[in-house]
């Protein structure tokens, strides 16, 4: 039986011009944990 992973594979941190100032790494990780995500990918622009 296949095993599924909960993930968000398109997040922007504060380093991306389109993200809000609250998108610091630690709060993003804590929020992902609160949501039950097992994997995230930070996809900032111009980095």
10-29 pLDDT per residue, tens: 999 998 988 888 889 999 99
Structural domain boundaries in the chain: 7-42
Nearest of 2, 18, 11 to residue 39 by alpha carbon:
11
Pick the residue with more confidence: 47 or 30?
30
Does residue 2 have a pLDDT over 80?
no
pTM of this structure: 0.77
Name, in order, each residue with C-beta under 8 angstroms of 1's C-beta and a sequence gap of 6 or more. Answer: none
Q: How many CA atoms, within 13 angstroms, populate the side-chain half-sphere of residue 41?
A: 7
Per DSSP, the chain holds a count of helices (H) and strands (E) of 1, 2
d(CA 15, CA 3): 33
């Amino acid at each position: 039986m296949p095993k599924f992973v909960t993930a968000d594979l398109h997040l922007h941190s504060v380093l991306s011009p389109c993200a809000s100032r609250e998108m610091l790494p630690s709060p993003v990780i804590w929020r992902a944990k609160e949501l039950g995500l097992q994997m995230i990918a930070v996809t900032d622009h111009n980095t």
